[in-house]
Structure 1
Amino acid sequence: MLESIKSSKKTIGIRQSMKAVENGLADTVYIAKDADEKVVRSIKELCSSSDIEIVYIDTMKQLGKACGIEVGAAVACVLK
């Protein structure tokens, strides 16, 4: 499943992912389980109200690696 993130068109990070969801461009949102709840609460609520699937990844490090970056990521979004 994580391999599909790397090869897909995506956004990485809370701001870009929020914009994608708000603009109807998001297909699936990935959230790291160890991300700060204050950081991810808004995108969780937005995804819930927009019927966007949320997939939880164990760690920010794993999500960052799946996105092809060297640092952790709290949120990533695969675009339609």
Structure 2
Amino acid sequence: MLDELKAGIVVVGTRQTVKTVKANEARLVYLAKDADGHITDEVESACKNNNVEIIYVDSMEDLGQACGIERKTAAAALLKE
């Protein structure tokens, strides 16, 4: 499931993910289950409004590692090809 992040073009971070979803450039969004609700609510709302599928990941640490960064992240978007 997270292998797609390593193979595709990815945007990392909540703000960039929301921006990408609203611009209709996201194919898929990954969201960490352990992120604060006030952070994830905006991402979930943008995905719902733009019909983008969300895949939930167990932790922000796992998501950061899958994105190839050495930080935790709450959200990441896989861009359309």
TM-score, normalising length: structure 1:
0.96
Aligned counterpart, 2:2:
2
Percent identity, please: 41
Aligned counterpart, 2:61:
61
State the alpha-carbon separation in 1 of the partners of residues 6 and 12 from structure 2.
Answer: 11
State the alpha-carbon separation in 1 of the partners of residues 54 and 4 from structure 2.
Answer: 15
Amino acid at match of 1:65: Q
State the alpha-carbon separation in 1 of the partners of residues 65 and 42 from structure 2.
Answer: 23
Aligned counterpart, 1:39:
39
Amino acid at match of 1:23: A
Unmatched 5+ stretches in structure 2? none
Other structure's SS at 2:27 match: strand
Aligned length: 80
State the alpha-carbon separation in 1 of the partners of residues 15 and 46 from structure 2.
Answer: 12
Aligned counterpart, 1:77:
77
Q: CA deviation at 1:52?
A: 0.3
Amino acid at match of 1:13: G
Amino acid at match of 1:35: A
State the alpha-carbon separation in 1 of the partners of residues 43 and 5 from structure 2.
Answer: 18
State the alpha-carbon separation in 2 of the partners of residues 3 and 27 from structure 1.
Answer: 15
State the alpha-carbon separation in 2 of the partners of residues 30 and 75 from structure 1.
Answer: 6
Other structure's SS at 1:30 match: strand
Q: CA deviation at 1:42?
A: 0.7
